[in-house]
Amino acid sequence: MSVAETPLQAERATTIFEKGAPGRRAFVAPELDVPHVDGLIPQEARRSEPPRLPEASEPEIVRHYVKLSKRNFDLDSGFYPLGSCTMKHNPRLHERVAALPGHSRLHPLQDPRRAQGALELMFNLQQALAEIAGLPHVSLQPSAGSHGELAGVLLTRAYHADRGEDRRKVLTPESAHGTNPATVTMAGCQVVKVALDDTGCVDIDDLRDKTDEDVACLMITNPSTLGIFEREIEEIIAIVRGVGATLYYDGANLNAVMGWSRPGDMGFDIVHFNLHKTFTQPHGGGGPGAGPIAVSDRIAPFLPVPLVVRRSDGDDDGRPEFDFDFDRPKSIGRLRGFHGNYGVFVRTYAYIRSLGAKGLKDISDVAVVNANYLLARLREKVGERLPLAFGERCMHEFLLSGAPMKKELGIRTLDLAKRLLDHGHHPPTVYFPLGVDEALLIEPTETETRETLDAFADAIAAIVAEAEEDPEIARNAPYTTPVRRLDEAGAAKRPRVRETLED
């Protein structure tokens, strides 16, 4: 029996490959308007069996993907306090301007003289990001935060190599995001973990112990992934600078400090932006994003090519006013094709233009107020069961520990998260950062209302209260989602990563 799309899917999920019928189609090919010639591809290079793509009419395709879309939770429908991810409102203006044909149908190899609008935009964005970071040189090229990190460590290597040194140790606090250590390895370096002290900040003694002349770089997130501004950041910088290492600032949490404080002013050499976080590129189910980097003078010579430059002599010599600069002999080279995720730049630029300096600072203010307010509400309601992991306040996000809840009520952070789904909220980030038991990292962002924060706090409180009565409810949650808990272990044991097709 086919029934309405209820939260619990009543029908077996079917893929587009199971839809349609042989001979159905959506695409209508343009007519062959040139003489047909046989044998243009040598027999051995010619494909004998076409790829078994779906065969479906346009209405079938639309229905399939529209229906599927309804099985997603999305930010336009509800609260999404995923810590470290800055799930803020995505203004639709940005989609509109990115879709303008002058942006969206512009070929990346268009002659720069005929892409002056794009280059002006990129140049202005470089300037704006430099100003926000307090670091004068920007490469927009990296495709995401982790790509920016990789650029950063390769830049560090290039910097040291240029000075005749081959340093390979990279210091990262234990609480670092997974991309940090993974990046270090990919860049041919070794991770040296730095412990946290009991306030959640970098353990200065441990840092001092581990800092030596082999250290290439310190990678640190500030505010940290615990939502805490590193108390001794000045000391940390002094220690690392002392051995001649570079300082890398993971900018994933810039949303907390825009207009308040700048990595460059703190003494950092390299910062990456997550434009999809701080600058509200829609997350798309996991991208696209962009991870531009801003760097200090000493790192600048090594930046990837090309950069966008403005030539004061613009029109005179026939060269365009805004241009790509490839002539950077010490550059580490390219990180990818073309010039980066331009469509993301357009959105970011629109955002910065909409907000201006004051608006950007307001964002940080409200983000921090919202986080602290939600924290206060939760401490009041469930402070015993879900204590703040460190300290008393937070920046734009905060880290709770579910350890008491687990111990006393027998439900885990995972259960709480799943039960939140039944309340219509997306759960926070769970089990990250490492080092805190049953961690729950909550980032409300500045675009949420007080009412939403209240409703979320109430939901958490209701779940905890419910678990005091009957923990089984949470343990088996969710109940009102398209599917219930999924067998992840089974999926990994016998991976089925594509549809099996008959013919």
Partner 1 sequence: MAGYTALTADDLKAMLDAIGVGSVEELFDAIPEGMRLDRPIELAPGEPEQAVYADLRRLAERNVSADDEITFVGAGMYDHYVPALVDMLMERSEYLTPYTPYQPEVSQGHLQVMFEYQTAISELTGLAVSNASVYEGPSAVAAAAYLAKLARKRRRLLVSRGVHPHSRATLETMAVGYDADVVEIGLDDYVTDLDALREALGDDVGAVVVQQPNFLGAIEDVRAVADAAHEHDALVICAADPLTLGVLEAPGHQGVDLCVGEGQPLGNRLDFGGPSFGFFAATEEYLRSMPGRIAGETTDADGRRGFVLTLQTREQHIRRERATSNICTSQALNALGGVVYLSWLGRRGIVEIGELMLQRTHYARETLAALDGVRKLHDRPVVREFALRLDAPVDRVLERCAAEGVNAGYALGRSYDEYGDGLLVAITEQRSRADIDRLAEVLGAAVAAERDAAGVTA
Query: Among residue numbers 205 through 244, which ones bind ligand PLP (CB under 6 A)?
Result: 221, 225
Q: What is the 3-state secondary structure (H, E, C) of 259-276?
A: CCCCHHHHCCCEEECCCC
Of 16, 186, 191, 455, the one binding a second copy (CB under 8 A) is: 455
CB closer to partner 1 out of 76 and 316: 76
CB closer to ligand PLP out of 227 and 320: 227
The option from ligand PLP, partner 1, a second copy, none interacting with 324 (CB < 5 to 8 A, set by class) reads none
Among 477, 389, 444, 410, smallest CA distance to 87 is for 444
Asked if residue 34 binds a second copy (CB under 8 A), the reply is no
CB closer to ligand PLP out of 252 and 417: 252
The option from a second copy, partner 1, ligand PLP, none interacting with 298 (CB < 5 to 8 A, set by class) reads none
Q: Which of residues 131-160 bind ligand PLP (CB under 6 A)?
A: 144-146
Q: Which of residues 87-116 bind a second copy (CB under 8 A)?
A: 89, 91-92
As measured in angstroms, the least distance from the Cβ of 10 to a second copy is: 9
CB closer to partner 1 out of 66 and 468: 66
413 within 8 A of 430, measured Cβ to Cβ: yes
Residues contacting 267, CB < 8 A, separation 6+: 237, 241, 247
As measured in angstroms, the least distance from the Cβ of 8 to ligand PLP is: 31
Matching residue, tokens 């980030």: 429
Distances (CA, A) of 329 to 166, 290, 292: 20, 25, 21
Helix axes 450-469, 342-382, angle to 10 degrees: 50
As measured in angstroms, the least distance from the Cβ of 60 to a second copy is: 6
Report d(CA 5, CA 80) in Å as an integer. Answer: 23
Amino acid in the structure at residue 327: D
Structure tokens at 202: 């970098």
Q: Which of residues 474-493 bind partner 1 (CB under 8 A)?
A: 476, 478, 481-488, 490-492
Residues contacting 41, CB < 8 A, separation 6+: none
Question: How is residue 82 annotated by DSSP?
Answer: B
Asked if residue 456 binds partner 1 (CB under 8 A), the reply is no
**Whether residue 22 has a cis bond before it, omega within 30° of 0:** no
Pick the stretch among 60-68, 200-208, 329-337, 383-391 that binds a second copy (CB under 8 A): 60-68
Amino acid in the structure at residue 440: L
As measured in angstroms, the least distance from the Cβ of 426 to partner 1 is: 7
160 within 8 A of 199, measured Cβ to Cβ: no
Of 210, 262, 272, 412, the one binding partner 1 (CB under 8 A) is: 262
Of 21, 37, 41, 45, the one binding a second copy (CB under 8 A) is: 21
How many residues interact with ligand PLP (rule CB under 6 A)?
14
Report d(CA 209, CA 274) in Å as an integer. Answer: 31
As measured in angstroms, the least distance from the Cβ of 90 to a second copy is: 9
Question: How is residue 113 annotated by DSSP?
Answer: G
Q: Which of residues 301-360 bind partner 1 (CB under 8 A)?
A: 304, 332-344, 346, 349-350, 352-360
As measured in angstroms, the least distance from the Cβ of 242 to partner 1 is: 18
The option from ligand PLP, partner 1, a second copy, none interacting with 423 (CB < 5 to 8 A, set by class) reads a second copy
Report d(CA 54, CA 45) in Å as an integer. Answer: 24
Structure tokens at 362: 């307001």
Residues contacting 97, CB < 8 A, separation 6+: 103, 346, 347, 350
**Whether residue 428 has a cis bond before it, omega within 30° of 0:** no
SS3 413: helix
**Whether residue 433 has a cis bond before it, omega within 30° of 0:** yes
Of 291, 292, 320, 402, the one binding ligand PLP (CB under 6 A) is: 291
Q: Judge residue 397's burial from the number of C-beta atoms within 10 Å of its C-beta, 0-12 exposed, 13-18 middle, 19 or more buried.
A: buried
Of 30, 39, 59, 337, the one binding a second copy (CB under 8 A) is: 59
As measured in angstroms, the least distance from the Cβ of 96 to ligand PLP is: 24
Report d(CA 109, CA 115) in Å as an integer. Answer: 9
The option from partner 1, ligand PLP, a second copy, none interacting with 2 (CB < 5 to 8 A, set by class) reads a second copy
CB closer to partner 1 out of 408 and 424: 424
Instruction: Please report, as ranges, the residues that interact with ligand PLP according to CB under 6 A.
Output: 84-85, 144-146, 177, 179, 221, 225, 250, 252, 274, 289, 291
Instruction: Please report, as ranges, the residues that interact with a second copy according to CB under 8 A.
Output: 1-7, 20-21, 24, 57-60, 62-63, 66-67, 70, 74, 76-78, 89, 91-92, 421-424, 447-450, 455, 458-459, 462, 480-481
